[in-house]
Structure 1
């Protein structure tokens, strides 16, 4: 199974260009879609999920034209949006059974079998009779992925699934995703770099509606190796450094700013080399895209 996206563009009526000629090829397995808020991630995922139309472009899912065959795509799709509503007074079992019917699983025996399997897979068996209004954020997300998994989809899209979860629930949810992301396409849309680092052998970075990087995490890190420098600086120095160098990030360490700078050699006194990680890759491409856009303006 392969998902192919070509020249996908979308401009909203208010003039916001959410997508600008997006090209992507995604094979089976976990695929990370990284980008800051407003980068176009949700627009891209909603378009793939047949929930909105692009202005132009094409999407192919295993030979199926996504934009022209929406009902057929929805039969193969599982989608967990960033925000979704649940009737708080209904039990998890009732909710999941209801969505199974909506998914077209009308045979009661088949529905019961799927519910048993999904409650076990998502570790919600002990809570199946409880009202979902009392669920924690992580439990609701696990119920959401159970809903998305109904009908054995070939493409699963999850939008910011770990935002707001505590560390324990986050790791539980990531482990669940890793268990399902082998034989199907799973697109993980997030601004949390650690989620992609832990799960995804391939990823893309979206900035300003454009794909600014795609590849393997280790390849992205390798490209920065030997070109990343750090220094503790005074706050008053930051504007001058930003004007003179490609500062990719500024972090506070014990209350003092520490800058990471992309440069082919030591950019000045006091700078020391630093081993890059995926967060550096992310910030490098985001800041590079911002600098290029500013020059073009």
Structure 2
């Protein structure tokens, strides 16, 4: 199974260009869609999930035309949007059973087995009788994944799933995503670089509605390997440093800025060469995109 997106574009009625000639080939496994807020990630996810029409372009999921065979796509799709509502006064097992019926699982015994299996898989079985209003943020996200897994989908889309989760819940949720991605396409849309670094075998970076990098994380990092340097400086020196070097990022460490810069040629003096990371690629590509768009 493969998801093929070709020359997809979308401009909203208010003039905002959300997507511009987006083309991606997404194989089975975990695929990371990385970009800042407002980059077009959610617009792309909603289009793939048949919730909105593009202005132009095409999407194919295996033999299915996503834009014209919406009902068939929805039968094999699991979708966890960035924001979703839950009935706070209903228990997890009751609501999941209800959603299973909506998904077409009519047989009561089969539905019961499905609900139990998914609640076990998402580590919610012990809390199955608890009302969803009493769930933590991470538990609600895991319940959302349980809903998305109904019907054994071939494509699962999760949009900013770890935003706002504490470290323990974030790790538990990412482990769950990793477990379910073996034989299906899982698209992880996020602005958190670590999520993609830790999980995804393939990825893309999107900014201002355009794909600005794509490939395996190790290959993408390889494009700037040996070209990243670090130095510690004073706050007052930052403007001069930004004017004379291609700054990737700055971070305060013990009150002093630690600056990472990109350079095609070796830098001497107070700069130390460091191992490139996906975060370096991310900020480097975004900065260059802003320079081109300025």
Q: TM range, normalised to the smaller chain?
A: over 0.9
Please report the TM-score for the alignment, with normalisation by the length of structure 2: 0.98
Give distance in 2, aligned partners of 1:241 and 1:267: 13
- Unaligned 5+ runs, structure 1: none
Partner of 1:224 in structure 2?
224
Deviation at 1:268, TM superposition (A): 5.2
TM-score under structure 1 length normalisation: 0.97
User: C-alpha distance in 2, partners of 1:16/1:233?
Assistant: 39
Q: Which moved more, 1:264-273 or 1:252-261?
A: 264-273
- Once the two structures are overlaid, the 10-residue window that deviates more, 168-177 or 263-272, is 263-272
- Superposition pairs for residues 186-265 of structure 1, below 5 Å? 186-265=186-265
Residues 224-282 of structure 1 deviation map (CA, whole Å, 9 limit, x = unaligned): 11101111122222223323322111111112111111102234531111111111111
Change in Cα spacing, 1:292 to 1:268, as seen in structure 2 (3 Å) is farther
Cα deviation 1:40-60 (Å, max 9, x = unaligned) = 000000100001111111000
SS at match of 2:223: helix
Secondary structure of 1:270 counterpart: coil
Q: Distance in 2 between matches of 1:244 and 1:72?
A: 55
| Aligned: 1:29 with 2:24 | no
1:18 aligned onto 2:18? yes
Distance 1:210 1:260 in 2: 25
Matched residues in 1 for 2:82 and 2:104: separation?
A: 24
Following superposition, the deviation at residue 66 of structure 1 comes to: 0.2
Structure 2 match to 1:96: 96
Counterpart in the other structure of 1:77 = 77
Q: Secondary structure at the match of 1:249?
A: strand
Question: What pairs up with 1:101-116 in 2 under 5 angstroms?
Answer: 101-116=101-116
Q: Is the 8 A contact 1:266 1:272 kept in 2?
A: no
Determine the C-alpha separation between the residues in 1 that align with 2:286 and 2:179. 30
Q: Which moved more, 1:274-283 or 1:39-48?
A: 274-283
Superposed counterparts of 1:38-187, under 5 Å: 38-187=38-187
**Secondary structure in 1 aligned to 2:293?**
helix
Task: Show structure 2 runs of 5+ residues with no match.
Answer: none
**Distance of 1:105 and 1:256 partners within structure 2:** 59
Task: Give the whole-Å Cα distance in 2 for the aligned partners of 1:26 and 1:269.
Answer: 43
CA distance in 1, matches of 2:70, 2:214: 27
Name the count of aligned residue pairs. 294
CA deviation digits over 1:155-182, x for unaligned, max 9? 0000011111111111111110010001
Aligned counterparts of 2:25 and 2:278: Cα–Cα separation in 1:
21
Write the distance in 1 (CA, Å) between the matches of 2:117 and 2:205.
Answer: 34
Cα distance in structure 2, aligned partners of 1:245 and 1:11: 35
Deviates more, 1:245-254 or 1:200-209: 245-254
Deviation at 1:100, TM superposition (A): 0.9
Distance in 2 between the 1:269 and 1:79 partners? 51
Per-residue CA distance 1:94-114 (angstroms, 9 max, x = gap): 110111111121121211111
The whole-number CA distance in structure 2 between the counterparts of 1:75 and 1:44 is 19
Flag as ranges the 4+ runs of structure 1 deviating above 4 A.
none
CA contact (8 A) 1:197 1:278 kept: yes
Looking at structure 1, the residues matched to 265 and 255 of structure 2 have their Cα atoms a distance apart, in angstroms, of: 27
CA distance in 2, matches of 1:237, 1:215: 36
